[in-house]
Amino acid sequence: MSNMLYEGKSKMICVGRDDDNLIIRYKDTATAFNGEKKAELSGKGKLNAAISNMIYDYLAEHGIETHLIEVLDETAVLVKKSEIVMVEVIVRNIAAGSFSRKYGVPEGTALKNTVIEFSLKSDELCDPMINESQITAIGLATPEELMEMTRQAFRINELLRVLFFKAGIRLIDLKLEFGRCGGKLILCDEISPDSCRLWDADTDKKLDKDRFRRDLGNVLDGYRDVLRRLQNVR
Ligand code: 5GP
């Protein structure tokens, strides 16, 4: 694509309408383990775009400022240009994934409080976990920005827990990214089964990217199920 500025693992960033915005195009590529595992899953881009756009609309209705300006087509959105904070914010409601592995807590264990974690956004370094004093020491974010990202992350998690609960889905954990725009921190990137763990509320069936990471099969059936259920409650 001639107007592409950057190609990421699952999205392309393209020139926007003017200097204040960009176009994000969702790709069909699925990657895991920092790109070591890769596949083309036809239709994934459309599914993630539809799910993320629906979630972003819901969050905007509840007062969360996001980068989304306009949905352009089935895989493309126009977004505000922002300076991405190079820190991924992970919120956990239930033990799973790296938390279970690192701390020996079985997957599915309820946590006594919501957990927040940060990791350095760096493919080269495999997104290492980083703590608050390390983040401020390196200058990745100011203490005020960290507080604001934490406040917003907890609020977004609570809003999404409610939305997914209505859809018969448990929000196990999720990853968020923020950007600086007009003196504020706004929610950026996507929120989709690629960036959240989503389990069926009755059966604990995984409906997210763990189906791809763990070779559970029928990856996009899970994503389609998430979209259908969200459409039913929106
Ligand atoms: P974990 O640390 O257990 O691997 O991941 C926690 C949550 O954050 C999961 O929902 C996972 O999908 C999401 N997550 C962590 N790192 C990334 C990342 O680099 N990209 C995406 N899309 N999601 C991530």
Give the residue ranges of DSSP H helices in 62-185. Answer: 97-103, 132-138, 143-166
Q: Which three-class secondary structure state does DSSP give residue 107?
A: coil
With a 6 Å cutoff on the Cβ, whether 80 touches ligand 1 is no
Residue nearest ligand 1's atom 16 by CA: 175
Residue nearest ligand 1's atom 24 by CA: 195
Tell me the whole-structure pTM to 2 decimals. 0.97
Mean pLDDT of 140-160: 98
Query: How would you classify residue 126: left for phi > 0, otherwise alpha for psi between -120 and 50, otherwise beta?
Result: left
Query: How would you classify residue 127: left for phi > 0, otherwise alpha for psi between -120 and 50, otherwise beta?
Result: left
Q: What are the pLDDT digits (tens) for 47-68?
A: 999 999 999 999 999 999 999 9
